Amino acid sequence: MKKKINLQFMFISAVGILLTFCLSTVIFYELFKSEVVDELKTYADVIKETQSYDQILQGEYDPDVDDLRITMIKKDGKVFYDSFADAKKMENHANRQEVRQALKHGNGKAIRTSDTLDKNTFYYAVRLDDGNILRVAKESRSIWSVFIKVTPAILILIFVILAISKMLSDVLTKSLLLPIEQMSENLDHLEDITTYKELMPFINTIQEQHKNILMNAKMRQEFTANVSHELKTPLTAISGYSELIQNGMTNEEETIRFAGEIHKSAKRLLTLINDTIRLSQLDTSEQKVIYEAIDLYKIAEDCVNMLKFSAENHGITISIHGTNAYLEGNKEMLEEVVYNLCDNAIRYNNEGGKVDVTVKPVKGKIYLCVEDNGIGISKEHQERIFERFYRVDKSRSKSTGGTGLGLAIVKHIIQQHGAHMELTSEKGKGTKIEIEFSKSR
């Protein structure tokens, strides 16, 4: 990256130098041409005012200027005097640009380039009182000859400037990349890095991502430890009971009881594995979630009917209220949401308690509420109950067969559907979980 920045910096410097040189050369040459023409005009006006024609024709006029060429031309274009050439051998000048302008307007000028000599000749002509034309001329290098002459100096200048640019670009690049290098070496203390304000959004993003990575790594580590612990408990029970039965250390009544415990632990183990797999799928699944128009009330109604037998076994009354409520969502996921919320409301309730499920449209949104009058949740636990494997009462969770993953699954699905969830609970009085869905995504 440093090399690339240096090369780009030097390239820009070189282009800037060349463009500046070319532009300056053109501008200065244009000024030079203007000065030469003005100078010729001055000479012509002086000759005209002093009327030194006889001196010119006799070759006695000294303009006190090197290389000044004086030409006298008749009205018809015939040259009758030239200070640099034999006038008799010169062609008619009637069609020369400066002569035509002088005959018509009183004065004229022209610049002609000699490709052979690589020079420009500047001409200025003025019409005299007798109608003849006085023309003065002077040779000068062309712009290309000027350019070629100064090229060595320009090349040396370019080399010097590029060398300076290289040193400056090294310093600037180092100062530019220093905060980034410091970040790569010390991601845990980005706030201690001194940098420029333009880089702050980038640093804040990196810092946030780094914190998220560390948090996710910690969560995965805790999740792995929790899974291992949760799997160990039923596996230990299965192993212990089966070993007793295998060694013939139980009577018929104990064998039946231990077999029941093995079945219960196996069922709990299977539920735990299924919930773990499901949560992992929600975390990492790359499959596109299919959303369709569904009736949330119908999903809740089917769930309530399915759980009525379980509720009766726990001495709980479960009922549903509301009306049809259509939204765009994933049917299987929303079935999981309603089932987990209702199953929790039944598990963590008191005998003789009740669970009320409400689904209805409210102010352009779809409202789902699962409320119970069970054991409730104290305030210090309410913020954490959606964490994986978090349990308010671990002994009760194990006795009711809870895995501690149901509400984590609910939270994940709710987030995927862009819904808003709110928990209201009071210890000993019950829990209410309300969710608001948009009708369309």
- The residue with tokens 């009071």 is 426
Residue 323 confidence (pLDDT) = 94
In the CATH hierarchy, which fold is given to the domain comprising 211-284? Helix Hairpins (1.10.287)
- Taking residues 417-421, what's their average pLDDT? 90
Q: How many CB atoms lie within 10 A of CB 188?
A: 10
Pick the more confident residue, 53 or 292: 292
Find which of 17-31, 132-146, 320-334, 401-415 is predicted with most confidence, using mean pLDDT: 320-334
Beta bridge partners of 355: 318, 372
Q: Which phi-psi region, left, alpha or beta, contains residue 67 (left: φ > 0; alpha: ψ -120 to 50)?
A: left
Residue 422 confidence (pLDDT) = 92
Contacts of 327 (CB under 8 A, 6+ apart): 293, 294, 296, 366, 437, 438, 439, 440
List the chain domain ranges.
2-146, 211-284, 292-438
- Taking residues 194-198, what's their average pLDDT? 63
Q: What percentage of the chain carries pLDDT values higher than 90?
A: 25
Q: How much is the pTM? A: 0.49
Contacts of 78 (CB under 8 A, 6+ apart): 92, 93
Q: What CATH number was assigned to the domain covering residues 2-146?
A: 3.30.450.20
Q: Are strands 107-114 and 119-127 parallel, antiparallel or unpaired?
A: antiparallel
In the CATH hierarchy, which fold is given to the domain comprising 292-438? Heat Shock Protein 90 (3.30.565)
Pick the more confident residue, 45 or 173: 45
Residue 391 binned pLDDT confidence (cut-offs 50, 70, 90): low
User: What are the DSSP E strand ranges found in 13-68?
Assistant: none
Q: Determine the residue type at 120.
A: N
Instruction: State yes or no: pLDDT of 396 exceeds 50.
Output: no
